[in-house]
């Protein structure tokens, strides 16, 4: 066992969200725990003993699903496992992103390493080798109902391990990678194709790994985006001549919601020492209170954080799970169960889609205030350079509004739907894969809406000259100016929006703020 600084050990302990991100997104090497591998071999011996039993055992000497009562002779069982994988690799639609496929393969590997599935040691080692070789099976968008596991997506991965189907080859820096036949890619990497034995077809496809992988990636992305939402809100409060008094710690303690306290602390930190905020704190200021999109930012962003914390708890529990059916118990029994049902994950994926839509909606409302002369506290209409000739950021707000509208549609829960399958044997399903797919689209939209707010607030702050922004907000504005010019005549706006989106989604906006504040919540 050779561990390096960036490698991820599989088997000794449950994986973390950070482990999933490291392997899926950053190609961290996978190392298998030797003790866990020995347990894998021991569990395989149990399956092999049951395979010789004259009594039928589900998935070992029987068919699957609605065919669970069909006995399969010993000489046909290898064909049974291969046939299961081939028939279930029935996905359709666009290719799923590389990081998602790597995440679901890692998570299936993690379950195999629990020694509760009865997989062969060589199968486990093959999955690790495929990940480390940068070989990514092609998985299609549609095919999972989120019950009996993410069947089709996982089957496409198992098919590649058998040396069949198509894959992409290359590291994350190579884009999607080069299209290749799985047999050729495995041969080039020196990886022999797996010959599946009893029960392994089920062990490789019966898990919530796809939806859990996407949840893990979403948790990482949203942690950064919610901090960025606090930064954007602080910039808007500042440039709209709002007050930071409402974010005072004693006021926040009157409602002891944990996430709210964290967001309010971020806003106080971002606005500390701002000359713009200080410029209107005297008795001459006649404003009584700010609009909700400014004043209530900690309440909304905080509730989002609390929802994220709940989703993280569910993810941690699932990362510590051994999801298979049937499963080998600790005392050596092989039992059918329903742990493959994706409801726990599907629910929090849907909760997060609601959160994303609402945080983005509040952000768009702050952007809109900047562009309305009746509400922007003395700035030009649409922050235009020459009123009547220039449109300023008018249509940038349209873009944000269009995205927010889409996010509201994506917030409709997938998990309330169910459609029966497998001749009514699988008569209730979670739709967790669909919930995860739409959450990924929603998170992309949130990053774009926040980028438009940051870009708009930066222009408004520049228009407050000679007043200066605070140190933290000023650092963010300076970062924005590396990608988008300041106020001036109308220009081609789309490239600037995309450039600021990249700053938000890469974490550079958050890093710019933290370069002056230290770590934000």
- As a dihedral over the C-alpha atoms of residue 162, residue 167, residue 173, residue 176, rounded to 10 degrees, the angle is -150
State how far the Cα of 451 lies from the Cα of 400, in Å rounded to an integer: 9
Question: Token pair for residue 457?
Answer: 């607030």
State how far the Cα of 409 lies from the Cα of 141, in Å rounded to an integer: 19
Summarised one tens digit per residue, pLDDT across range 413-471 is 988 987 777 666 676 778 899 999 999 999 999 999 999 999 999 999 999 999 999 99
Is the peptide bond prior to 466 cis by the omega test (within 30 degrees of 0)? Answer: yes
Q: Which of 58, 142, 292, 398 is catalytic?
A: 58
**Is 58 designated active site?**
yes
pLDDT value at residue 173: 83
Are 304 and 355 in contact by the 8 Å Cβ rule? The answer is: yes
Within its chain, how far is the Cα of 316 from the centroid? 14
Summarised one tens digit per residue, pLDDT across range 261-312 is 999 999 999 999 999 999 998 776 667 689 999 999 999 999 999 999 999 9
State how far the Cα of 91 lies from the Cα of 192, in Å rounded to an integer: 25
Helix (H, G, I), strand (E, B) or coil at 142: strand
- Using a 10 angstrom Cβ sphere, with 0-12 exposed, 13-18 middle and 19 or more buried, the burial of residue 285 is exposed
pLDDT value at residue 380: 97
What are the structural domains, with CATH classification, of the chain? Answer: 8-207 (1.10.275.10), 216-517 (1.20.200.10)
Beta carbons within 10 angstroms of residue 453's beta carbon: 30
Q: How far is residue 149 from each of residues 145, 365, 410, 427, measured CA to CA in Å?
A: 8, 40, 23, 14
- How would you write 362-417 as a 3-class SS string? HHHHHHHHHHCCCCCCCCCHHHCCCECCECCCHHHHHHHHHHHHHHHHHCCCCCCC
Look at the pTM and tell me if it is higher than 0.85. yes
Question: Token pair for residue 69?
Answer: 């009562």
Pairing of strands 327-328, 334-335: antiparallel
Question: Element (H or E) spanning 344, and its range?
Answer: helix 343-371
If phi over 0 gives left and psi between -120 and 50 gives alpha, with beta otherwise, what is residue 120? beta
pLDDT value at residue 232: 98
State how far the Cα of 514 lies from the Cα of 82, in Å rounded to an integer: 52
- Block means of pLDDT (10 residues each) for the chain, 521 residues, are 79 97 97 97 88 69 62 75 92 96 98 95 98 98 85 96 97 88 98 94 92 98 98 98 96 97 98 95 74 97 98 97 89 85 94 98 98 95 96 97 98 87 70 94 98 98 97 98 97 98 98 98 95
Beta carbons within 10 angstroms of residue 246's beta carbon: 18
How would DSSP label each residue in 146-177? SSSSSHHHHHHHHHHHTT-SEEEES-GGGTT-
Within its chain, how far is the Cα of 309 from the centroid? 14
Are 198 and 74 in contact by the 8 Å Cβ rule? The answer is: no
pLDDT value at residue 54: 65
Query: Of 227, 45, 183, 151, which is closest to residue 432 (Cα–Cα)?
Result: 151
pLDDT value at residue 430: 81
């Amino acid at each position: 066992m050779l561990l390096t600084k960036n490698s991820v050990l599989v088997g000794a302990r449950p994986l973390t969200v950070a482990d999933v991100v490291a392997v899926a997104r950053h190609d961290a090497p996978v190392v298998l725990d030797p003790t866990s591998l020995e347990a894998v071999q021991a569990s395989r011996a149990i399956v092999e003993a049951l395979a010789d039993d004259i009594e039928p055992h589900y998935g070992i000497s029987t068919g699957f699903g609605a065919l669970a009562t069909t006995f399969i002779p010993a000489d046909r069982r290898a064909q049974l496992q291969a046939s299961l994988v081939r028939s279930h690799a029935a996905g359709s639609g666009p290719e799923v992103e590389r990081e998602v496929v790597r995440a679901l393969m890692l998570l299936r590997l993690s379950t195999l390493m629990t020694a509760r599935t009865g997989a062969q040691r060589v199968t486990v080692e093959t999955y690790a080798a495929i990940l480390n070789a940068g070989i990514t099976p092609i998985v299609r968008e549609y095919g999972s109902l989120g019950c009996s596991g993410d069947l089709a997506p996982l089957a496409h991965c198992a098919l590649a391990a058998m040396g069949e189907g198509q894959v992409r080859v290359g590291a994350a820096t190579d884009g999607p990678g080069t299209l290749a036949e799985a047999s050729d890619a495995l041969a080039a990497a020196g990886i022999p194709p797996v010959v599946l034995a009893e029960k392994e077809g089920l062990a490789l496809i019966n898990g919530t790994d796809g939806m859990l992988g996407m949840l893990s990636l979403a948790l990482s992305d949203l942690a950064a985006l919610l901090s960025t939402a606090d930064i954007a809100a602080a910039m808007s409060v500042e440039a709209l001549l709002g007050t930071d008094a409402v974010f005072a710690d004693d006021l926040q303690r009157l409602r002891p919601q944990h996430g709210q306290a964290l967001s309010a602390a971020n806003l106080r930190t971002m606005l500390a020492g701002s000359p713009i905020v200080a410029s209107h704190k005297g008795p001459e200021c006649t404003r009584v209170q700010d609009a909700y999109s400014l004043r209530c930012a900690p309440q909304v962003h905080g509730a989002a954080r609390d929802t994220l914390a709940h989703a993280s708890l569910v993810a941690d529990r699932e990362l510590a799970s051994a999801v298979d059916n049937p499963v080998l118990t600790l005392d050596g029994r092989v039992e059918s169960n329903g742990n493959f049902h994706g409801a726990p994950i599907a629910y929090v994926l849907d909760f997060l889609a609601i959160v994303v839509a609402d945080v983005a909606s509040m952000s768009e409302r702050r952007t809109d205030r900047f562009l309305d002369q009746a509400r922007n506290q003395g700035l030009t209409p649409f922050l235009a350079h020459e009123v009547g000739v220039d449109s300023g950021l008018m249509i940038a707000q349209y873009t944000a509004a269009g995205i927010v509208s889409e996010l509201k549609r994506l917030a409709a829960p997938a998990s309330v739907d169910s459609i029966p399958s497998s001749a009514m044997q699988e008569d209730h399903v979670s739709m967790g894969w669909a919930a995860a797919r739409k959450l990924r689209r929603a998170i992309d939209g949130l990053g774009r809406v926040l980028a438009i707010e940051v870009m708009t607030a930066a222009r408004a702050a520049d228009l407050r000259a000679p007043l200066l922004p605070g140190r933290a907000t000023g650092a963010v504005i300076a970062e924005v100016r590396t990608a988008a010019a300041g106020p001036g005549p109308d220009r081609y706006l789309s490239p600037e929006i995309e450039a600021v989106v990249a700053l938000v989604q890469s974490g550079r906006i958050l890093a710019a703020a933290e370069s002056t504040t230290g770590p934000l919540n």
